[in-house]
Amino acid sequence: MLNKYSQTLAQPVLRKALPPRKSPYNHNIEVGRSLGYYKPRPGAGYWSGCIRHGHHKGLRKTHTFAFADDLQEADGQDVLTFNQALEKAREWCGRIDQSSLLSPSRFHGLQEEMLVCPYGPVYTVGHALAEYLERKRNHGARQSFLSTLSMINYYVFPLLGTIAVAELTPQHFYDLLRAIESTPTQRFQKDKGQQIDPETLDPEARRKRRVTANHVLCSVRGALNRAWEEGKVGDSRPWQRVQLFRGVQKPRADIMTLQECRLLLRACEPDLFRLVLAALYTGCRVTELASIRAEDLSQDRMAVYIRPLKVYRCRHVALPEEGYAFFKSLTLGKGRSELLFLQSHGRPWKGSRPSIRLNTALERAGLRDTLVFHSLRHTYASLLIQNGVSPIAVARQLGHQGIATVMQTYAHCADDFIDREIREKFEPIIASDAELAEIVAGQTRAGFDEYGSCGASRTAPHLQVV
């Protein structure tokens, strides 16, 4: 599995440029097993294998093989090439792999298959999930497929994977919701930790666990509903009657004002400035912006084409005149297939680099550190809602399939707009009628009548102010 230093370690010329350091430069073989290149001082380094301890963090077993072929030709014994050292490391790991004290062997890299392959004539939940994932792999966006697969492997399959669909009851799904709420958050492919009591969590942490549980259950429902539609399942009521956790959706709070947006832009370096401004003009995700090419800017309308990355649907995002002029300026002097947004050294924006650079700009601008790059997308949507753009238009701009997500996430941003619209567009009922105005004026001036209560006007005994 290639990692950061794999290509460098494979070539002696590149290894020479590595600075000396106490810790090794590692090439991961499997999780918990690696080939290390030690270079404690200038000159030739040496190869060493390493296996991490399975139960005690920080403990490991290492074995030195030979020198690297940095300064002399490899002889297969005392001096080894990268490939020879890799074979030695694999052989060494295999010889001592039976020790119970060592970390168990696990796949290193992105998991692209279910952990267990469902087999047998009985149609189980595992069969339905496998078919559902295969459709997402072939017809959906890669990122959506990987995230769904990760959730199913981590949460669903251990509990429901081997249960026959015909034997499912609503209690199975309520147990799943409760188990997810009690399961620690998955991080870096680590095994599950000990179950936690949801009652001991703070309200915000528990709310997030319930959001995850709802999301997982919706994926399971999707798999089972597809199986039911294809006639592989006779009854869909066991999962249709299950209620999700209610009241867990929280309005977005990481939204910036226009003044904060301008402060952030002033604090950005030129390459980051262009990326942030494009996010505020389009509401696109950073991965979508990083993939925009010169040919994606429409010549027929003020819009830019967004490739299907997170979801399988492509879309055109409409631009304001100012935004279209900005994108047009970025295409000058570029070929059709060239990327519009690059870092100052000419490389594409990848990984966590945009977030790291944005954190520096936020600190320089004096803005709150809870903001992230995705906050620009939320800011874009909230500004549209506040200015009266219809939820349907906002949903299309963001690439959502319907308006439900927009209404749940940004409805609170429309309060000022709604107040203003009601004041401006509500047609007066009484103000244009002098007689009714006098009745209301008299009613408001009326004090306590002879009955000791706030009485109605004598001229309009049917009216009473409450």
Query: What pLDDT sits at residue 320?
Result: 93
CA angle 303, 307, 308 (to 5 degrees): 130
- Specify which residues 36 forms β-bridges with: 26, 48
Confidence of residue 230 (pLDDT cuts 50, 70, 90): very high
Q: What distance in Å separates the CA atoms of residue 97 and residue 327, rounded to the nearest whole number?
A: 56
List, as one string, the DSSP characters of 364-386.
HHT--TT--THHHHHHHHHHHHH
Helix (H) or strand (E) holding 35: strand 33-39
Residue predicted with more confidence, 183 or 318: 318
Return the CATH class of domain 125-240: mainly alpha
The class level of CATH for 6-95 reads alpha beta
In the predicted structure, residue 135 carries a pLDDT above the cut 60: yes
Write down the domain spans for the chain: 6-95, 125-240, 258-419, 430-466
| Res. 53: pLDDT tops 70 | no
pLDDT at 193: 61
Look at residue 312 in the predicted model and tell me its pLDDT: 62
Residue 106: strand pairing partners: 31
CATH value of 258-419 in 2.70.240.10, 1.10.1740.10, 1.10.1280.10, 1.10.443.10: 1.10.443.10
277's CB contacts (< 8 A; 6+ apart) are: 265, 326
Q: How far from the centroid of its chain's Cα atoms is residue 127's Cα?
A: 27
Instruction: Please enumerate in sequence order all residues whose Cβ is within 8 A of that of 309, keeping only pairs 6 or more positions apart, or say none.
Output: 141, 143, 285, 287, 288, 291
Whether 338 shows a pLDDT value over 60: the answer reads yes
Q: Which residues make Cβ contacts (< 8 Å) with residue 52, sequence separation at least 6?
A: 32, 33, 59, 60, 102, 103
Least confident of 63-72, 99-108, 427-436: 99-108
The per-residue pLDDT of the chain, averaged, comes to 83
Structure tokens at 225: 């509903």
Provide the H-helix boundaries in 332-433: 353-365, 374-386, 391-398, 404-410, 415-425
Residue 187 in this model has a pLDDT that exceeds 70:
no
The yes-or-no verdict on residue 19 having pLDDT over 90 is no
What pLDDT score does 451 carry?
42
Higher pLDDT pick, 209 / 141: 209
128-138 mean pLDDT: 91
Distance CA 62, CA 445 (A): 92
The answer to whether residue 59 scores a pLDDT higher than 50 is: yes
Using CA atoms, how far apart are residues 460 and 432, in angstroms rounded to an integer? 18
The answer to whether residue 457 scores a pLDDT higher than 50 is: no
Q: How confident is the model at residue 385 (pLDDT cuts 50, 70, 90)?
A: confident
- pLDDT tens profile 386-404: 888 888 888 889 888 778 7
Residue with tokens 């990987």: 146
Of 428, 435, 377, 373, whose CA–CA distance to 406 is shortest? 377
What pLDDT does residue 452 have? 46
